[in-house]
């Protein structure tokens, strides 16, 4: 897992937007970061066409800006629709043109334990109580509670003993992919050699624990990085394709269109970014 360098904390900017109760959501692209907390019942969340994640009581999920996601309520809570809370915000480090989503590649679903559950519920409820006030004090409180929630998420995310039980070989490969996704020569065979596994065994392991194949995961990681470059840089589409391991521009365009239904230029426009001059 990557650690958060001190440079991140020096320039963190959190911008709070909205919060509410989770309900069924058709596929949509989020223009902001989202944190979701399950309270009762069970829901299924799909992010960027990956295998659906089941979210139940005490699960928290982070959805980074630029992701396509959908929510399907599987089992309503007794006091429907109080199945869980969500908060919409932006968390960025402007000086470095980075997003904290850079360190949250996998997994992005955690299970809260003990007092942490009650702590996060209180923070969500505090946001709900003050977010319609409109005063400066309430706005600052919303930002503070949002950052508090994200800190709770990071605390559990960064503790391997509290993350769902993933195979160490898988986590090692995920870390490798997160660092080397820009290498266009990554293949199933090269990943299998790194993991000291047969290719078919590696595919089975990935599908069991992530719902996707190794190369699908590589492609997903590249897309996440490419989306961040589209959002936060003025690099051309060709440059982004090369730096994220897609190689050919057409390959990147095709993957993004399959994932979001948008071309890179359309993605930038939908997200409110100016298209750089080629």
Mean pLDDT by runs of 10 across the 278 residues of the chain is 41 81 88 88 83 85 87 74 81 54 62 86 89 84 90 72 66 86 95 95 87 88 88 90 94 92 89 66
Residue-range domain boundaries for the chain: 6-157, 168-270
For the chain, what percent of residues have pLDDT higher than 70?
Answer: 82
CATH topology of domain 6-157: Jelly Rolls (2.60.120)
CA separation for the pair 270, 125 (Å, rounded): 31
Q: Does the bond joining 116 to the residue before it have cis omega, within 30 degrees of 0?
A: no
Residue count (the chain):
278
Cα Rg of the chain, angstroms? 19
Residue 274 DSSP one-character state: P
Q: What share of the chain is helix, strand, coil (3-state, %, to 5)?
A: 45, 20, 35
Contact status, residue 256 vs residue 264, Cβ threshold 8 Å: yes
pLDDT at position 9 is 52
- SS3 assignment, position 278: coil
Q: Which helix (H) or strand (E) holds 62?
A: strand 59-63
| Cβ pair 232, 239 in contact under 8 A | no
Instruction: Of 41, 4, 25, give the one whose Cα is nearest residue 153.
Output: 4
Angle between helix 214-232 and 188-195 (nearest 10)? 110
Residue pair 259/69 in contact (Cβ under 8 Å)? The answer is no
Distance CA 275, CA 262 (A): 14
pLDDT at 188: 96
Alpha-carbon distance 34 to 215, whole Å?
26
Give the pLDDT score at 162: 47
Phi then psi for residue 247, to 5 deg, are: 80, -90
Residue located via tokens 């309270």: 39
Tokens representing 260? Answer: 């979001």
Please choose, from the candidates 191, 165, 198, the residue with its C-alpha nearest in 3D space to the C-alpha of residue 177.
191
Q: Which of 127, 213, 135 is nearest to 173 (CA)?
A: 213
Residue 89's H or E segment, with its range, is strand 84-93
Please tell me the predicted confidence (pLDDT) of residue 98. Answer: 47
Predicted confidence at residue 197, as pLDDT, reads 95
pLDDT score, position 183: 95
Give every CB contact of residue 8 below 8 A, 6+ residues apart in sequence: 93, 96, 98, 100
What fold is seen in the domain 168-270? Arc Repressor Mutant, subunit A (1.10.10)
Whole-number pLDDT of residue 278: 52
């Amino acid at each position: 897992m990557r650690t958060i360098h001190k440079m991140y904390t020096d320039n963190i900017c959190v911008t709070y937007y909205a919060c509410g109760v989770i309900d069924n959501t058709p596929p949509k692209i989020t223009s902001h970061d989202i944190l979701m907390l399950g309270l009762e019942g069970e829901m299924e969340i799909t992010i960027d066409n990956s295998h659906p994640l089941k979210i139940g009581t005490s699960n928290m999920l982070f959805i980074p800006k630029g992701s396509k996601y959908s929510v399907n309520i599987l089992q309503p809570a007794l006091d429907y629709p109080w199945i869980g809370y969500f908060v919409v915000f932006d968390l960025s480090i402007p000086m470095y043109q980075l997003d904290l989503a850079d360190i949250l590649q996998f997994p992005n679903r955690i299970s809260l334990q003990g007092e942490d559950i009650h702590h996060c519920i209180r923070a969500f409820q505090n946001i709900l109580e003050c977010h319609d006030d409109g005063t400066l004090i309430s706005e600052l409180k919303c930002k503070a509670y949002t950052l508090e929630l994200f800190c709770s998420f990071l605390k559990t995310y960064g503790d391997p003993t509290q993350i769902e039980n993933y195979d160490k070989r898988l986590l090692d490969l995920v870390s490798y992919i997160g660092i080397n996704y820009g290498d266009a020569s990554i293949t199933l065979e090269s990943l299998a050699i790194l993991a000291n596994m047969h290719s078919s065994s590696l595919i089975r392991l990935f599908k069991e624990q992530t719902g996707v194949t190794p190369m699908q995961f590589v492609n997903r990681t590249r897309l996440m990085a490419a989306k961040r470059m589209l959002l936060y840089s003025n690099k051309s589409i060709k440059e982004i394709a090369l730096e994220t391991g897609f190689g050919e521009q057409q390959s990147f365009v095709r993957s993004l269109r399959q994932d979001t239904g948008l071309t890179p230029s359309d993605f930038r426009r939908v997200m409110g970014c100016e298209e750089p001059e080629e």
